[in-house]
Structure 1
Amino acid sequence: MIVGFAENTAEMKGFIDDTNYSIGLLEDTATPRDVVDHYIYDHTLMGKNAFFVADLGKIVKKHFKWKNIMGHIKPFYTVRCNSSPAVLEILAALGMGFACANKNEMSLVYDLGISMENVVYTNPCKQASQIKHAAKIGVNLMTCDSETELKKIARNHLNAKLLLHVATEGMSGEEEMSMTFGTTLKNCRHLLDCAKELSVEVVGVKFHVSNSSNPQTYNHALSDARCVFDMAEELGFKMNILDIGGIPENEAQLEELYQAVGPLLDVYFPEGSGTRIIAEPGSFYVSSAFTLAVNVIAKETIEHDHHLSSAGKPISNKLAFVYCLNEGVYGSFARKLFEKLDTTPEVHKKYKDGEPLFTSSLLGASYDELDVIVDHCVLPELEVGDWIVFENMGCGSLNENSPFADFEKPSLYNFMSFNDWYGIQDTGNISESLMKSLCVPCFHLGEDQFCTD
């Protein structure tokens, strides 16, 4: 097979916290799986650790799908989901805004040359020093849900523009108000009076609906937001931003959300009202773009009630296997600690049709009782040194350092197809650093080889 993948090894530093990165351009003759295969071969040969491969073209495609589904609602990407520089620059080139939760995220966006007018500071409990940092670099738009936060902002940021974070109500019979953060509608009048007294500008409302499949929840949230807009305008505030909060990960859920919220926006905030509608997607954009490859470093055989053949039929042997991998929940699988892992392990090596499949468990390197990546799955028998591939690993994974000194942070390799790169060029917003990150395309003829000249 002949594959073309442009890579300048002198520039490809590949570590997640490294602002110097490169993007390989993939020829039509090669596939994303060819990229994974290439780096597995390279890492096996060089004895390297786990690694991520990022198909940045998928982020471009996701943005076009967002525009087709969500219309005039502008996305403000949640930086904490994935803060790798290539991702942020691609999103900036696509005209995205950014939702930052802390000083580090604001600084990262600032250092990439992104306009601070397209940034909202969303942390509900802000440190005074971080509010001052936001003021210093020009991040004016921020959320607020209490009098304490309001006074803190007033003391430390003279040009702040606030979105009142209003709690939403659950609509099921026994569900209570989802008020981990957010003020009540009843308290909004008091906060607006305080803002008036402190000469703090309030420009809009934010809410977040956790159950996007329930249209009635959006009805309540948008009705409350409209009430806050009306109250604020009575007090002389010029309200012009509505933030509808976090967004589901997959496209089907996104379409359901818009079907629920679209008609309600037409009623409460029609396009001619002068209100800018924004939202805070995160995993929707980046989850499917990243693939993680990990290595089996230990293996244990245990007895089990049964295992299955590849045809799904039980056979007589009663073995099961526990595999230890060189990444775990204290590193790249950190998301597993607080939500279900939305990925399925895939064995990289080829195995024969009819080869038996065994009940298997995948653990991280700590052997801690919480360090369970996959408690139960069915795999062919693996050996130490084999590779397992996990897709949909772009959210909440790349920023975690392993606490074990023997394990380096996984390398990160970015690529996209020429067609996807041309799609970004059409936006006209390409930064100089993004342009410099591109590798000069070249070809190397050989079996499963990539150009590294």
Structure 2
Amino acid sequence: MESINIGSSIKVDVLPVGFSAKDVVEKYQKEGKESYYGVDLGAVVQKHEQWKTHLPRVAPFYAVKCNDDPILVRLLAGLGVGFDCASKIEIKTVLGLGVSPSRIVYANPCKFKSHLEYAEKEGCSLMTFDNKLELDKVKKIYPGARLLLRIRADDPDAICQLGVKFGADPANAPSLLQRAKDLDLNVVGVSFHVGSGCQNATAFSDAVAAAAKVFTVGEELGYQFNILDIGGGFPGTDSVKISFEEIAGELNRSLDEHFPESCDVSIIAEPGRFYASACATLAVTVSSIREVEQPDGNSSYMYYVSDGVYGSFNCILFDHAEVFPKIAFRDTEDVDARTCSIWGPTCDSMDVILKETKLPPLEIGDVLYFEDMGAYTKSSSSTFNGYSTPDCYYYVDNSSKEAVSNVLSPGSPLQLVVNVS
């Protein structure tokens, strides 16, 4: 099997065009792991091309929290993507790849003192704020920071509502900007986040219009804003209510209206799941089976598998994800499905992946796989009860081989897409 050398013990396999997720799972099952990810790096490259095609004016700053897999982050760095970091460790990880501090936005409005000190030491100057006390902290620790006022701009139907925790009411923008002015701090623009898993494209256009009004407030106070950060919320799969293309179309119209190219404002975004969701397939093994007799005389089945909600499936609890199991290694098209539930491996009754579903009869040792498991899964998992997080196997197909090899091979340059310094 051909593979790409990326200068470490990790290899990237090159597979023929047309490999399915099931093919990938069955290929790596021979490694003997009870749980593992197949990670398609070519899919990440394709997502980047899609972004550049549909949002050519917007520079992506990948949200590291979504999936901090080191090979994924290294690939994105090599593609020239910027990074949204929320902590010292995330900043340190990205800087360790040779990424310039100018390609980082410290997008946590409420920062630890020690993390802010680290950002100052490393010259990561672009960061967000949403309250007056944060301004006082920045003044003491990093007075040379370049600040983005984060305003609240919720999509009421977003999967994860972020406005309940972060974002100033736009009505409070004048007082916040005046406070920054009194402290002689450098506010360079506005940021917002409509919520993770946006369901309404108009949430973006409404937020852009609100940001434009804050730009006017800043101008009246003597600021010259030159950065607009439109946050995240972009879908990463096709199985969603609203497509990335629909959001991009709405955004482009709104940006052209409120921030035309002639205004000389750099526009950045913080996509996470857009890049990460579709690149990973998770395989798990059935370890135990319990038959439960129902009052009507029929039986249902409890399947215990090798990963659960304390691990990769934490996305069910924290990201409101829906997961859909498929069976590897055998054809089940003509086999009758039966009622069952799927449980994680820990000794906690809350560790349930699916309380009720239907699957063909399974046996101990069978392998289930779940597609689109790249976002908010492994990065937020734990090792509760002594269960380790799954290993990753990386691959590309022949159509993406050259693009991935050029970026990941030793000595490959980190190409700069945008510099917002």
TM range (shorter): 0.7 to 0.9
Task: State the 1:128 CA deviation.
Answer: 0.7
CA distance in 1, matches of 2:150, 2:404: 34
Matched, 1:285 2:270: no
After superposition, what is the alpha-carbon deviation per residue over 1:3-24, rounded to whole angstroms, capped at 9, x for unaligned? x342789954xxxxxxxx3322
Which residue among 116, 124, 128 is the counterpart of 1:139? 124
Post-superposition shift, 1:377?
1.6
Q: Secondary structure at the residue paired with 2:57?
A: coil
Find the partner of 2:343 among 352, 358, 363.
Answer: 363
Alignment partner for residue 105 of structure 1, among 90, 99, 103?
Answer: 90
Matches within 5 A, 1:423-442: 423-424=403-404, 432=410
1:402 maps onto 2:383 in alignment: yes
Q: Does 1:191 align with 2:188?
A: no
User: Does 2:227 match 1:247?
Assistant: no
Gaps of 5+ in 1: 13-20, 307-316, 436-453
CA contact (8 A) 1:247 1:254 kept: no
On the 8 A contact 1:166/1:185 being kept in 2, the answer is yes
Report the alpha carbon displacement of residue 108 of structure 1 after superposing the two structures with TM.
0.8
Q: For residues 376-407 of structure 1, what are the alpha-carbon distances to aligned partners after superposition, in whole Å with 9 as ceiling and x for unaligned? A: 221111121111111111011122232122x2
For 2:151, the equivalent position in structure 1 comes to 166
Query: Take 1:238 and 1:287, find their aligned partners in 2: how far apart are those partners?
Result: 37
Q: Secondary structure at the match of 2:282?
A: strand
- Taking the aligned partners of 2:39 and 2:247, their CA distance within structure 1 comes to 27
Residues 279-288 or 192-201, more deviating: 192-201
Cα deviation 1:325-379 (Å, max 9, x = unaligned): 1111001111111233343101113145532211111111124232111122211
Distance 2:233 2:141 in 1: 31
Deviation, structure 1 residue 77: 0.8
TM-superposed deviation, 1:301:
0.4
Amino acid at match of 1:201: N
Secondary structure (helix, strand or coil) at the match of 2:243 reads: helix
Specify the alignment match of 1:40 in structure 2. 29
* Alpha carbons 2:154, 2:193 under 8 Å: kept: no
Q: CA deviation at 1:134?
A: 1.0
Change in CA separation of 1:297 and 1:285 when aligned onto 2, cut-off 3 Å: same
Distance change >3 Å, CA 28–CA 276, structure 1 → 2: same
Larger mean Cα displacement after TM superposition, 361-370 or 215-224: 215-224
How many pairs are equivalent? 404
Partner of residue 65, structure 2: 80
RMSD: 2.7
Q: 1:408 deviation in Å?
A: 2.5
Q: Tell me what 1:374 maps to.
A: 354
Equivalent in the alignment of 1:345: 325
C-alpha distance in 2 between matches for 1:336 and 1:68:
32
Match of 2:209 in 1: 223
Range with bigger deviation, 291-300 or 333-342 = 333-342
Cα gap change, 1:171 to 1:412, in 2 (>3 Å): closer
1:118 to 91, 95, 103: 103
Normalising by the residue count of structure 1, what TM-score does the alignment of the two structures yield? 0.82
Structure 2 match to 1:263: 253
Counterpart of 1:294 in structure 2 is 284
Partner SS, residue 189 of structure 1: helix
Letter paired with 2:65: R
Tell me the SS of whatever aligns to 1:245.
coil
Distance in 1 (CA, whole Å) between partners of 2:104 and 2:162 is 28
Q: Which stretch has the larger CA shift, 333-342 or 103-112?
A: 333-342
Is the radius of gyration larger for structure 1 or structure 2?
A: 1
For 2:295 and 2:350, the matched residues in 1 are separated by 24
- Which residue of structure 1 aligns with residue 312 of structure 2? 332
Identity of aligned pairs, percent?
35
Going from structure 1 to structure 2, the CA distance change for 1:9 and 1:148 (only over 3 Å counts) comes to: closer
The answer (yes or no) to whether the contact 1:89–1:434 under 8 Å persists in 2 is no
Post-superposition Cα deviations, 1:397-451, rounded to whole Å, max 9, x if no partner, equal 122232122x22211111112431323567xx6673679xxxxxxxxxxxxxxxx
Q: TM-score, normalised by structure 2?
A: 0.88
Q: Of the candidates 8, 11, 15, which is equivalent to residue 26 of structure 1?
A: 15
| Residue matched to 1:439 | none
Q: Name the structure 2 match of 1:438.
A: none
* AA matched with 2:243: Q
Letter in 2 for 1:362: I
- What is the SS of the residue equivalent to 2:84? strand
Alpha carbons of 1:240 and 1:9: their partners in 2 closer, same or farther (altered >3 Å)? closer
Gaps of 5+ in 2: 414-421
SS in 2 for 1:114: coil
Contact between 1:94 and 1:424, CA under 8 Å: does it hold in 2?
Answer: no
For the Cα contact (< 8 Å) 1:213–1:256, is it kept in 2? no
Q: Which amino acid aligns with 1:255?
A: E
Structure 2 vs 1, CA of residues 384 and 143 (structure 1 numbering), >3 Å: closer, same or farther?
A: same
Question: CA 1:126–1:327 in structure 2 vs 1: closer, same or farther (change >3 Å)?
Answer: same
**2:34 pairs with 1:49:** yes
Task: Work out the CA distance in 1 between the residues paired with 2:31 and 2:322.
Answer: 27
Contact 1:203-1:241 at 8 Å conserved across structures:
yes
- Structure 1 stretch 215-224 or stretch 131-140: which is displaced more? 215-224
Distance 1:171 1:333, change over 3 A: closer
Matches of 1:369 and 1:206, distance apart in 2: 41
Q: What is the match of residue 81 of structure 2?
A: 96
